[in-house]
Amino acid sequence: MTLHRTWIGRRLLLGLGQTAAVVLLIFVLTEALPGDAAVALAGDQPDPERIARIREAMQLDRPAIERFLEWVGGMLHGDLGASLVTGRPVTGYLTNGLGPTVLLAAATLVLLVPLSVGLGVLAARREGGPLDRTVSALTLAVHAVPEFALGVLLATLFALRLGWLPPTAVGTGGDLAAHPAVLVLPVAVLLSRPVCSISRLVRAGMIDAMASPYAAQARRYGLSGARVRWAHALPNALAPATQQLARTCDWLLSGVIVVEALFVIPGLGTVLIDAVAARDVPVVQGIAVVFGVVTVVLNLGADLVARRFAPRSEVAA
């Protein structure tokens, strides 16, 4: 128990260090971006004096270290700053765009886990058979298709040609929950690659687990094949799949940006694209911090869950 608590403590400290590194890296990278909001607001033929006045009014002429310390101090109090373009708080942008993004990600994850585990277990039960080969070939083929290309293909076929589904979220007013048909194509695109990678991991883990000594011992005790499979083999097979699920959540953050742009969904991805186009650095920094912190938290949770499923497995700490 003491070793377990020590491991958790070290993992939490590492998570805090990673969060601090993410915040610093985001500030440094946004500082390195060419141009700024003053240049964007100055128009197509900017006057250097006008740019200087705008930059002074926006306090962009202050030293970088001073602006960084002020930004971090405000962040600790829940203040991510204000937009350089509109003056609105960055938290307002996050609140407005969070709903559609969370709905997309939640719908994807709710379907991802049962589909991935079910396909992986099904393929492992028929190892080497026609079903296993078919599932493996299909998952490999779908995984090779970029999500943007797959989204265009699905929208062309099911929305434009067949007319079964709406091609974009235009006209919904941002209320995706009231128009569930709008979610079908975006969720299908977001599901395509993660289902393939996680199901293959589950399949490989189930094959190894079912061939292990503890599974053989459970069968000698007279336990049914279903109980051995689901109660003994599956928890150990899920340890690597759990960490892949966390990496999938990281991928979802970038995938959501692509999908929201493709299907015109007013989520955080769309807000981020608009902020980058306007050189609105505080909004870019705020969304990047949210994405970075979510990534750290998800990986921390995945390590804890993986250690719970397989306590003797080596988990990065």
pLDDT recorded at residue 317: 38
The CA angle 251-257-263, to the nearest 5 degrees, is 125
- Name 4's Cβ contacts closer than 8 Å, sequence gap at least 6: 307, 311
- Which amino acid, residue 222? G
pLDDT recorded at residue 315: 43
pTM for the whole structure: 0.70
Q: Give the whole-angstrom CA distance, residue 181 versus residue 242.
A: 30
**Which of 281, 295, 301 lies closest to 90, judged by CA?**
281
Q: Collapse the DSSP code of 278 into the 3-class scheme (helix H, G, I; strand E, B; otherwise coil) and give the result.
A: coil
Contact 225, 209 (CB under 8 A): no
- Name 92's Cβ contacts closer than 8 Å, sequence gap at least 6: none
Neighbour tally for 315: CB within 10 Å: 17
Contact 237, 69 (CB under 8 A): no
Q: Give the whole-angstrom CA distance, residue 186 versus residue 256.
A: 9
Q: Give the whole-angstrom CA distance, residue 123 versus residue 201.
A: 11
- Name 111's Cβ contacts closer than 8 Å, sequence gap at least 6: 187, 191
The CA angle 105-84-93, to the nearest 5 degrees, is 25
The list of the chain residues with pLDDT below 50 reads 313-317
pLDDT recorded at residue 314: 46
- Which amino acid, residue 102? V
**Which of 125, 112, 135, 109 lies closest to 200, judged by CA?**
135
315: left (phi over 0), alpha (psi -120 to 50) or beta: beta
Distance of alpha carbon 61 from its chain centroid, rounded? 35
Q: Give the whole-angstrom CA distance, residue 250 versus residue 246.
A: 6
pLDDT recorded at residue 58: 62
Q: Collapse the DSSP code of 265 into the 3-class scheme (helix H, G, I; strand E, B; otherwise coil) and give the result.
A: coil
Beta bridge pairs of residue 89: 82
